[in-house]
């Protein structure tokens, strides 16, 4: 018997999910319902307030001169407090993207039944420094026609529906 | 600093779901590791434990929970955790303890039981993302790796059908690994035709969810030479963390890994890694990720890893065998234990004890890496005989 075979011999017993679900093997179960309220801090707090106004705001580092989005109170590269607030555009370009056929819990979407694939993307925002991206969804586009460098623009919820959240932008859609 | 050697190793089989509890898995791997070098727990001075998110097991303070199974009763014990990068931080953490001169022997234990999170552990990851700017968009790990794979592909012009060869190679290598969960003979077409999870990632581009444990025994030089005629030395360690603003990094290249690798190579005196390293276990939870890491480890020039893969350079009998174990894609991915399994493979390869998996040419220097957190941590270990 070779060394790895000897090493693993007799270890770990295989179970199937069915054996647990059908109670053939006893298990203890718990479904937590945890609640948190996360403080956003001054930088993201202002970011959210501006989103509610239909605007995207960034913050500038006076040392490396990067215009940072999402805004932050200190520059993680220069390790100094950031300076002025800067409004940036609600347009940008697609840096990279996916065409998701499963949801966030890894459960299959019914794509054949007409469910829209999840098209999550990193979008480089116009007016921020090159490469500064945010995560958001793409919409009003054939998922298979998305491409790197595609120009996109935010589609906002109507003002009365905005709550001061990243989801005040419904998604980004392609523009010419 | 004192020289530190690996003198023993133990591993459990990897399954989607094991009957054993996490601490029972840890016990089995640890016992096996001690037996492999004919040591007793009383010979051990201290214990370190690597295990990834508590959310998998649903056991908060999992390090404490695992301590008994890790052989830590009334010993100095410390847990470390850097997400997926944990398993290769494990030997580094053990190395501190022994290299410092504080301890002569150290058990390094890594365990993961992903099956406890029901129905799938993916959902347990939502809270790793920024709670305000990302979490409301419901991202998940498969998405962000797919997003990185796509950037890697569009930057270098890599094709999915070429990247799929990593799955073909690793699953085939895993046929010879007795712990392997999903070994097999698959073709490029099988990979491309497998279910789309999040394009460009298909099912066969991904490692599975797994339960398992691994352990290695470390010893200072004067002790190691009494235990074995073939100590395998930890000659280089490196680790680094990139920014958590992961959407503002260019994901096409793993800078975090290059920083860590340069640190490890400097410590090991390696100047030309592609020539001086004979066997590598780059972290491969996804097909593209092995190539991404081969480039970050500077074992291939940027943008050239796919061409080298296609030419057979990374096959078990190629110029630089990568993942001869079968990797996470073939052996399985119980997070921390998978990283330590890679370290163990390099250890066995350098000892000439890898059996059917043995790479030819009497390798004397090998490297393994792991990666995790928000796609930002690199952990690297260089081993020599």
Question: Are B147 and A96 inside 8 Å of each other by CB?
Answer: yes
Question: Are A48 and B132 inside 8 Å of each other by CB?
Answer: yes
pLDDT in tens, chain B (385 residues): 999 999 999 999 999 999 999 999 999 999 999 999 999 999 999 999 999 888 888 888 999 999 999 999 999 999 999 999 999 999 999 999 999 999 999 999 999 999 998 888 888 888 889 999 999 999 999 999 999 999 999 999 999 999 999 999 999 999 999 999 999 999 999 999 999 999 999 999 999 999 999 999 999 999 999 999 999 999 999 999 999 999 999 999 999 999 999 999 999 999 999 999 999 999 999 999 999 999 999 999 999 999 999 999 999 999 999 999 999 999 999 999 999 999 999 999 999 999 999 999 999 999 999 999 888 999 999 999 9
Q: How far apart are CA B187 and CA B194, in angstroms?
A: 11
Asked if pLDDT for residue A89 goes beyond 70, the answer is: yes
Residue-level pLDDT at B52: 87
Q: Is the ipTM of this complex over 0.90?
A: yes
Residue-level pLDDT at A1: 67
- Chain B residue with CA closest to A76: the answer is B243
Q: Which residues of A touch B243 (CB under 8 A)?
A: 76-77
In angstroms, the separation between the Cα of residue A152 and the nearest Cα of chain B is: 17
Residue-level pLDDT at B279: 98
Q: How many CB atoms lie within 10 A of CB A113?
A: 6
Residue-level pLDDT at A32: 84
pTM strictly above 0.80: yes
- Among B136, B140, B177, select the one facing A166 at the smallest CB separation: B136
Residue-level pLDDT at A5: 85
Give me the mean pLDDT over the A91-108 stretch.
Answer: 96
Residue-level pLDDT at B264: 98
Q: Which residues of B touch A98 (CB under 8 A)?
A: 143, 146-147, 150, 198-201
Q: How do strand A99-100 and strand B196-199 relate by DSSP bridges?
A: antiparallel
SS3 B176: coil
Taking Cα atoms as reference points, which of B374, B384, B379 lies closest to residue B129? B374
Give me the mean pLDDT over the A132-145 stretch.
Answer: 97
- Chain B, residues 49-108, CB within 8 A of chain A, namely 58
Q: Which residues of A touch B249 (CB under 8 A)?
A: 131
For residue A14 the two structure tokens come to: 């295989």
B312 at interface of A, judged by CB pairs closer than 8 A? no
Residue-level pLDDT at B118: 83
If 0-12 CB within 10 Å is exposed, 13-18 middle and 19+ buried, where does residue B360 land? exposed
Taking Cα atoms as reference points, which of A3, A146, A164 lies closest to residue B349? A3
Q: How far apart are CA A123 and CA A129, in angstroms?
A: 12
Question: Are A4 and B200 inside 8 Å of each other by CB?
Answer: no
Asked if pLDDT for residue A161 goes beyond 80, the answer is: yes
Q: Which residues of A touch B211 (CB under 8 A)?
A: 12
DSSP for B102-132, please give it: S-SEEEEEEEEEGGGSSS-GGGGGGGGS-TT
Q: How do strand B105-113 and strand B46-50 relate by DSSP bridges?
A: parallel
Q: How far apart are CA B219 and CA B94, in angstroms?
A: 9
The pLDDT confidence band at residue A4, using thresholds 50, 70 and 90, is: confident
Best B14, B132, B136, B144 member to test A by mutation, with max A CBs in 10 Å, is B132
Q: What are the residue ranges spanned by the domains of chain B?
A: 4-118+208-384
- Chain B residue with CA closest to A170: the answer is B137
- Among A12, A77, A96, select the one facing B20 at the smallest CB separation: A12
Question: Are B150 and A96 inside 8 Å of each other by CB?
Answer: yes
Q: Which CATH homologous superfamily contains domain B4-118+208-384? A: Thiolase/Chalcone synthase (3.40.47.10)
Question: Are B123 and A95 inside 8 Å of each other by CB?
Answer: no
Q: Which residues of A touch B196 (CB under 8 A)?
A: 99, 101
For residue B280 the two structure tokens come to: 């590598």
- Chain B residue with CA closest to A18: the answer is B17
Residue-level pLDDT at B73: 96
């Amino acid at each position: 018997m070779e060394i790895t075979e000897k090493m693993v011999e007799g270890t770990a017993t295989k179970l199937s999910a069915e054996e647990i679900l059908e109670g053939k093997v006893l298990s203890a179960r718990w479904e937590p319902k945890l609640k948190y309220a996360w403080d956003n801090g001054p930088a993201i707090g202002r970011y959210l307030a501006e989103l509610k106004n239909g605007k995207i705001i960034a913050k500038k580092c006076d040392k490396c001169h990067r215009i940072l989005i999402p805004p932050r109170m200190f520059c993680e590269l220069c390790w100094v407090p950031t300076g002025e607030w800067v409004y940036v555009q609600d347009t940008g370009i697609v840096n990279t993207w996916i065409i998701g056929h499963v949801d966030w819990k890894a459960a299959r979407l019914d794509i054949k039944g007409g469910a829209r694939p999840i098209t999550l993307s990193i979008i480089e925002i116009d007016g921020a420094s090159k490469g500064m991206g945010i995560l958001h969804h793409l919409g009003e586009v054939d998922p298979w026609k998305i491409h790197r460098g595609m120009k996109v623009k935010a589609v906002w919820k109507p003002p009365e529906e905005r709550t001061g959240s990243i989801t005040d932008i419904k998604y980004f859609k392609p523009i010419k | 600093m004192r020289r530190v050697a690996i003198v023993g190793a133990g591993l459990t089989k990897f399954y989607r779901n094991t009957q054993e509890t996490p601490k029972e898995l840890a016990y089995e791997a640890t016992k096996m590791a001690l037996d492999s070098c004919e040591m007793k727990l009383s010979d051990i001075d201290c214990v370190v434990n690597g295990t990834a998110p508590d959310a998998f097991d649903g056991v908060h303070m999992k390090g404490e929970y695992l301590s008994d199974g890790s052989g830590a009763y009334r010993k100095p014990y410390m847990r470390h955790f850097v997400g997926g990068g944990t398993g290769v931080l494990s030997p580094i953490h053990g190395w501190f303890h022994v290299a410092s001169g504080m301890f002569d022997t150290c058990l390094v234990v890594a365990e993961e039981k992903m099956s406890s999170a029901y129905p799938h552990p993916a959902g347990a990851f939502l809270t790793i993302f920024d709670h305000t700017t990302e979490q409301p968009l419901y991202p998940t790990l498969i998405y962000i790796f797919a997003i990185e794979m796509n950037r890697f592909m569009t930057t270098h012009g890599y094709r999915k059908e070429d990247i799929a060869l990593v799955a073909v190679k690793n699953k085939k290598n895993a046929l010879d690994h007795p712990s392997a969960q999903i070994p097999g003979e698959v073709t490029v077409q099988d990979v491309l035709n497998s279910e789309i999870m999040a394009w460009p990632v298909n099912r066969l581009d991904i490692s599975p969810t797994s339960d398992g444990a691994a352990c290695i025994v470390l010893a200072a030089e004067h002790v190691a030479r009494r235990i074995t005629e073939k100590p395998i030395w930890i000659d280089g360690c490196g680790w680094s963390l990139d920014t958590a603003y992961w959407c503002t990094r260019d994901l096409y290249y793993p800078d975090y890994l290059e920083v860590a690798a340069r640190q490890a190579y400097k410590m090991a005196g390696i100047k030309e890694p592609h020539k001086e390293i004979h066997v590598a276990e780059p972290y491969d939870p996804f097909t593209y990720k092995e190539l991404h890491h081969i480039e970050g480890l500077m074992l291939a020039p940027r943008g050239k890893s796919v061409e080298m893969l296609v030419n057979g350079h990374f096959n078990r009998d190629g110029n630089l065998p990568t993942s001869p174990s079968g990797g996470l894609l073939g052996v399985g991915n119980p997070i921390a234990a998978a990283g330590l399994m890679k370290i163990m493979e390099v250890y066995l390869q350098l000892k000439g004890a890898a059996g059917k998996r043995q790479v030819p040419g009497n390798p004397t220097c090998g490297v393994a890496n792991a990666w995790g957190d928000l796609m930002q941590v690199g952990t690297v270990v260089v081993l020599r005989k």
